[in-house]
Structure formats: structure tokens, C-alpha cells
Copies of this chain bind each other. A is one copy, B any other.
Amino acid sequence: MREAITVRDLSYKYPDGTKALEDVNMEVHEGERIAIVGPNGAGKTTLMLHLNGTFRCMEGEVELFGKTVSKLKRAEIVKEIGMVFQDPDDQLFMPTLFDDIAFGPINQGLKGDEVRERVDKAIMSLGLSGYEDRAPHRLSFGEKKKASLAAVMAMEPRILVLDEPTANLDPYSRTELIGILNELNDREGITMVIATHDVNAIPELADRIYALNRRIIETGTPREIFFDGELLKQNKLDVPDVFKLFDVMRCFGFNCDKLPLSLDEAVSGLTRVIETAGGHIHLHIHEHTHDEVKKWREKYEHH
């Protein structure tokens, strides 16, 4: 597997002296889906702005497919990596949706018909047809979010970097967006790096997590990270509710080898456990149940 992104010993200080990143090391394989988690102000956005060369590395370096970002030309970086920002209003800068989506391809030097093809494809795959001539300020927040994703997709980058894609979306639009992203990864093998506070979305959205809090605290599969109670607590992180719930069911004698992270996993896990136990399991309150529940509570409690 090739490395899509390599970050080596990256540190960054804002001009006013705020240390936002310290000694960050990171490796993302091609086709992988990575989630970056960490509290408000952890440096997630700052890190992402280094990936596409918006911020020059002051210390350390970033490589895309083995090439140092600071030595690449803008046009080359843009071909490799597309970035969707936190606030869609920052990134929809043209008066209509069509112009905005066409903006990237035009900058890449494509000609009329190619541009139109790219725009059509992006619009189709995000279900935005009919919106081409709309002004961004007449879109709902969820639509703006999808539009900003379409604008980046039209550039057909090999890596997609997304800053809190699910924030402020209603549950329906959120599910829809998650589906779209996974399809992109599936069908076109696009590598993804996603910063998010939405822990319930992580199991569906990421193969691996980087926990960031100015420095990289830990990396691992969602399961590995969510299992590390101490790590979670120290870095103000959280765990999906389903995971917590199955964890507490263990106090009642539920014997689950693998705690589920999403509802789907929960159902299939439940089915499997019951089936392997001969179609039938017990839950009971035994002498240690209450102590165990208490411990469980402490593990996830934030205060």
C-alpha cells in the first residue's frame, strides 16, 4: 500500500505565539479513511491547512504520495488534494452554484466541455441537479455543505480533506452525507481525512482514528481508540452511545467478544452472540454487577 500522506515532525505556531501543533507525525495509506478527533482548539483545522500547503511548514514536513508539499507547485497540490472547509460560506465565493463548482476545474486549465462534464458529474453525484443557477445565500445550510463538497469533487482530487462535515446538519442530511462520502471512497478509491466531533459518525466514516491534542496522542482503529478509557478521559474524547451501552451490558453478563460501534454492528453482534450460544443467552444481576456499573459510569463520565 502506498502512503498518500506522510506528516513528519510537524510543529506550528501562530504569529501571535499560540502553539497549535507540536511534533505531529502521521501516515495515511492510499484509499484509507482517517478521522481526526480532539477537543475544540486541538489544532485539527491547523493540521488540515498544512496538508494542502495553505500553511508552509515551519518545522517538519508534509509529503503527498512521496512528494514534499512545499516543493510542489500549487497546481500539482490541487490535483492531489481537495479540501472542504468547516464553514461553507467561506468556500462558496461565486454568485451561483454552477460558477462555484466550475471554478476549480477552470483553474486546473480545463476547457469548456471538460469543465461542464466535471460539473455535471459532481452535481449528479450529490443530488444537486436543478440548483445550478441558485445563489448560495438562497440555499439551506445542508445544501450549502453539499455544494462545497461538489465544488471540491469536481476537481477530482485523490485525497479529500473534510473539516467537520456533519456539523449543523439535520439527521437526515447527515446520513445522506455519510453515504455519499463512503460511496466516493468505495467507488473511486478516494483517500479521506475527516476532522469531527461527531463520535457517533466515526465508526461509519473511518477506518482509523488519530487522536490529536496539539500533539498526536494515539492512533488506531476506532475500536482500539474507544477501548482506551484513560486516553479518552484525558483528552476529553467521547465514545459512541452504542459502544457504551454494550459495554454496560457486559456488567450484566453479556458475553461479547467485540463491542459494536454502530447500530448495524450491534444487531449483527447480538445475533452472532446469541447464535453461537445456541440461540439463547442470559442476562442477570450478579454480586459484582453494581460495582461494575459504577466503574463503567466513571470510565465515561466527563465530570
Contacts and interface: CB of A to CB of B under 8 A. Distances in A.
Interface stretch (A28-36, A99-107, A278-286): A278-286
A267 B143 CA distance: 38
Question: Which of A41, A248, A271, A285 has the most B CB atoms < 10 Å from its CB?
Answer: A285
Number of copies: 2
B241 A267 contact: no
A241 B270 contact: no
Given A171-B238, A238-B171, A282-B281, A245 B271 contact: no
B197 A169 contact: yes
Interface residues of A, number: 52
A171 B200 contact: no
B248 A274 contact: no
A170 interface: yes
Nearest to A166: B197
B270 A249 contact: yes
Interface string A223-263: 00000000000001110111011001100100000000001
A134 to B, nearest CB: 13
Interface in A15-63: 38-41
B168 A197 contact: yes
Given A169-B40, A171-B237, A172-B302, A263 B245 contact: yes
Contact of A175 (B171, B197, B270, B303): B303
A172 B289 CA distance: 27
B197 A170 contact: yes
Contact of A172 (B173, B236, B263, B297): B236
A302 B175 contact: yes
A43 to B, nearest CB: 11
A168 B173 contact: no
Contacts of A164: 168
Interface string A107-126: 00000000000000000000
Interface string A266-301: 110011001100011111110001000100010000
Contact of A279 (B199, B280, B285): B285
10 contacts: A40-B169, A164-B168, A172-B238, A172-B302, A175-B303, A267-B293, A271-B289, A274-B284, A279-B284, A281-B282
